[in-house]
Amino acid sequence: MADITMPKMGFDMTEGTIVRWLKKVGDFVNKGEAVAEIETDKVTIEIESFVSGTLSEIVSPAGSRTPVGGVIARTSDGAGATHAAPVVAVAPVAPVAAPVVAAAPVAPAAAPVAAVAAGDVKASPIAKRMAREHGLDLGTIHGSGPQGRIVRDDVSAAMAGRPAGVAAPVAPAAPVAPVAPAAPVAPALPSAVAGSTVVPLSNMRRTITRRLTQSWQTAPHFYITMDVNMDAALTLRKQINAPLSKEQQISINDMIVKACGVALVAYPNLNASFVEEGIQLNPSINVSIAVALDSGLVAPVVTNADSRSLGGVSRESKRLIGLARDGKLGAENLQGGTFTVSNLGMYGVTEFDAIITPPQCAILAVGAVRRIPVFKGDSNDVVAANICSITISADHRITDGAEGAKFVGEIKRLLENPLSMLI
């Protein structure tokens, strides 16, 4: 027997949904042949078998959700040999006999916590130390960190009797378990009104809900808006695009992504992440571009946006947007973003505030380019100009208003002097 498990397709993926089975029990499956189609929070993809054999059991039927590493089907080969390795179509995940859930046997409170922490439970060093000092079993604590990792706030929540992952000030530790009243519980969601239509959340919408709620509740946002005169950028764009086919032409968004990539070199704090140990300055500048789909929002990543040419940024953006609209984005296209650009200008939006995508530090919201009257320099002469409002949303734990203003000012300078981005 060989297990086919739910693969891990992204850094923060915790579960996947079986969209449909491409094979039925009893079918022979060749090595490399697709057996099922799964939906993650970001993509829909087929998974393949790594061995040839007969599909002997479907554990997770179509429509069911399965945690990462959970068994979704089993195969047996014609020779009756046993395959110990998981049969998945992506990078192998650690073999798991069953998902690690709270229903697993819980050790007595007096049992050493270190033995649990050293096993299947992922926890930060600080979380392990806190659990050990207060006699907590890490196996009973839900982790809110990356890939379910237990962090300090999760242990603090367990000590105070709160649900894991709910942030609250950490009180000084007492020699015994705290007996303070439990923290207020978030109000329950209202029930559906009789006669209304309830649309179940897709994996993508469920993840958007979870991550942006987390961002809004944990990252103190601040916002800075500036108007950018786009006359020079539009003129340069027209000159560049003149000899090019429509498929090759650069867009305003391409110029904005390139400007962000260059500006982030000078302001690394805006290309950072807030982690348990402090502020993590990311080594690469990878700009996520928000793409709206009927099913939700995806943000494929233009890697190394600082070092790519303007044409290179444009070609990569077009490729990623095409994959997104065709439903063919892979996990590798969605991982590693360190900054995001969200452009609603095509909808006539003048300006807006965006929510930061964790674990990033900032997101740039771009409005429409609009032709309006402005004063020319210091004179009283009024002329028409193409103005675009850009707004940065930034994490106040990592940066502050002055630095944010300088960063947005640098993007403005680059767009108003676009030839500097071509050097």
Structure confidence by residue, pLDDT tens digits, 353-378 = 999 999 999 999 999 999 999 998 88
Whole-angstrom Cα distance, residue 136 to residue 19? 39
Whole-angstrom Cα distance, residue 101 to residue 54? 30
Four-way CATH pick for 203-421: 3.30.559.10, 3.40.50.920, 3.40.50.2300, 3.30.565.10 = 3.30.559.10
- What the block records as the tokens of 121 is 């439970």
Looking at the chain, the domain(s) classified CATH 3.30.559.10 span 203-421
Whole-angstrom Cα distance, residue 321 to residue 42? 14
pTM value is 0.62
- Set 83, 134, 221, 396: catalytic member: 396
Q: Binning pLDDT at 50, 70 and 90, where does residue 146 land?
A: low
Four-way CATH pick for 100-167: 3.20.20.80, 3.40.50.2300, 3.20.20.140, 4.10.320.10 = 4.10.320.10
Q: Binning pLDDT at 50, 70 and 90, where does residue 48 land?
A: confident
Whole-angstrom Cα distance, residue 35 to residue 74? 11
Q: Binning pLDDT at 50, 70 and 90, where does residue 113 land?
A: very low
Burial class for 234, CB neighbours closer than 10 Å (0-12, 13-18, 19+): middle
Mean pLDDT of 263-276: 96
Question: What average pLDDT does the structure give for the chain?
Answer: 81
> Is position 396 annotated as part of the catalytic site?
yes
Looking at the chain, the domain(s) classified CATH 2.40.50.100 span 2-76
User: Could you tell me the fold of the domain covering 2-76?
Assistant: OB fold (Dihydrolipoamide Acetyltransferase, E2P) (2.40.50)
Q: Binning pLDDT at 50, 70 and 90, where does residue 12 land?
A: low
Q: Nearest 5 degrees, angle CA 65-CA 67-CA 73?
A: 75
Looking at the chain, the domain(s) classified CATH 4.10.320.10 span 100-167
At which residue do the structure tokens 């994959």 appear? 323
